[in-house]
Amino acid sequence: MQKTSSHQLVDHLFRHEAGRMTAVLTRIFGTENLCLVEDVVQDAFVKAVQTWGYKGVPENPAGWLMTVARNKALDIVRRNHNFKHISRELASQLEQVTEQRIEHLFLDHEIADSQLRMIFACCHPALNEEDQIAMTLKIVSGFSVSEIAKALVMQEAAVQKRLYRARKALEENKIPLEIPSGPALTSRLDMVLLVIYLLFNEGYNSQKSDELIRKDLCVEAMRLCFLLPEHPAGKQPVVYALLSLMCFQASRFESRMQNGDTIILLEHQDRTRWDQDLIGKGYQFLNHSSQGSQLTVYHIESAIAAEHALASTFETTNWVRMLKLYDLLAIHKPTSIVLLNRAVVKAQLELYGQGLEDIWGIKHIEGLLASQYIYSAVLGDIYLRAGEKIHARKYLTQAMEMTTSVAEKKLILQKIESCQ
């Protein structure tokens, strides 16, 4: 039992601490030695697995890991002449790094600053846009290759190639760990926010079969986003818009699931369990985001989430205003999932025919219905609401066969039974 729990704790800490440790050590060794840094971080977690199962988990596990990583860094500094794979140039640089300076880099505020710099380094324009996302999820947030593949809806082999390309670009270009200014900031900030947005979404609608909501991923996304306004360059309306959106969404965590395996739809959620502090922060950040003239998808999606928070009951939701917001979102972000969600809003207004027409009008809908359960699930649900139970059963059954989530299977099965 001790060994099992220690392994689980190491897995949990890897999610939260690996990115922090990598950011600090990369700041010491430079992005051109990223592979070396990753090895050092990996060594710390391997040592934790080997040690904690027998000697017990230390009182401060995160601090223990950081100390091991720090000591490993100090060993490399002190014995750099013994590491032939480290260039002479780097060895010379390391001789100038004092132990006091390294200790300073492991202070909380320096760790946060290092992570922020790491995020912007991973989102450097020298990297392909797709590689930027994969690298940030891997290096800064500790995503596994399989989790990145699920988040980006792609094969693991393709993710491996992206990570290889990104590491090579970072190393060859010796991309500095810095936060840009001027026009360079805007372009890179957009990608930084997209990465954080994807991270939060993976947690909010997890692809793991046994866990619909992965709060650790959502918390990590929010933590990274909260870092941005701490730097003057990150005090932008679009940053506050994304913070607002995540606060509104996170406020409903405790009401979305029951007993860990039963999904509670929005219309049946106990709104007294919604986190009012987070909702308050959502409104606060939404107000901050209104400064300036820029309107982004994060502004619109946050406004949509705010509509849900404003309504005291599901029935009193202003669906007419919600549809206008989705119409606006579809202009700025005409993706298949946005069009699907707009069809759901139309169904709430009993515009079933329009909703079904919109879904069937989505580009490549046949392929989406055959490969992603959510499209079949929504289509089947709208057919059910429209009273077309034969069509409803067909697509709901198709959706249940595709999803790997236990909670989603249970919910869809309930709807299939109502088609009898």
Q: DSSP characters for 216-281?
A: HHHHHHHHHHHHGGGSGGG--HHHHHHHHHHHHHHTTHHHHEETTTEE--GGG--GGGS-HHHHHH
Angle made by CA atoms 7, 12, 15, in degrees to the nearest 5: 130
Cα Rg for the chain, rounded, in angstroms? 24
Calpha distance 396→416 (Å, rounded): 6
Calpha distance 328→119 (Å, rounded): 30
The answer to whether 132 touches 166, Cβ cutoff 8 Å, is yes
What long-range pairs does 395-403 form, CB within 8 A, spacing at least 24? 395/369, 398/369, 398/373, 399/373, 399/374, 400/373, 402/371, 402/372, 402/373, 402/376, 403/373, 403/377
Calpha distance 82→96 (Å, rounded): 17
Calpha distance 131→126 (Å, rounded): 10
Q: DSSP E strands: which ranges in 57-110?
A: none
What's the confidence (pLDDT) of residue 333? Answer: 93
The answer to whether 379 touches 356, Cβ cutoff 8 Å, is yes
Token readout for 133 is: 């996302």
What's the confidence (pLDDT) of residue 321? Answer: 97
Token readout for 1 is: 């039992």
The single-letter DSSP state of residue 295 is -
Calpha distance 312→307 (Å, rounded): 10
Token readout for 413 is: 């099965």
Torsion angles phi and psi, residue 361, rounded to 5: -90, -5
Torsion angles phi and psi, residue 262, rounded to 5: -125, 120
Domain coordinates in residue numbering, the chain: 1-106
Give pLDDT < 50 ranges for the chain.
1-4, 209-210
Kindly tell me the burial class for residue 201, based on how many C-beta atoms sit within 10 Å of its own C-beta (0-12, 13-18, 19 or more). Answer: middle
What's the confidence (pLDDT) of residue 130? Answer: 82
Q: Give the global pTM.
A: 0.78
Calpha distance 212→228 (Å, rounded): 28
What's the confidence (pLDDT) of residue 211? Answer: 53
Calpha distance 148→34 (Å, rounded): 19
Token readout for 287 is: 């107000």
What's the confidence (pLDDT) of residue 64? Answer: 87
What's the confidence (pLDDT) of residue 9? Answer: 72
What's the confidence (pLDDT) of residue 24? Answer: 84
What's the confidence (pLDDT) of residue 99? Answer: 59
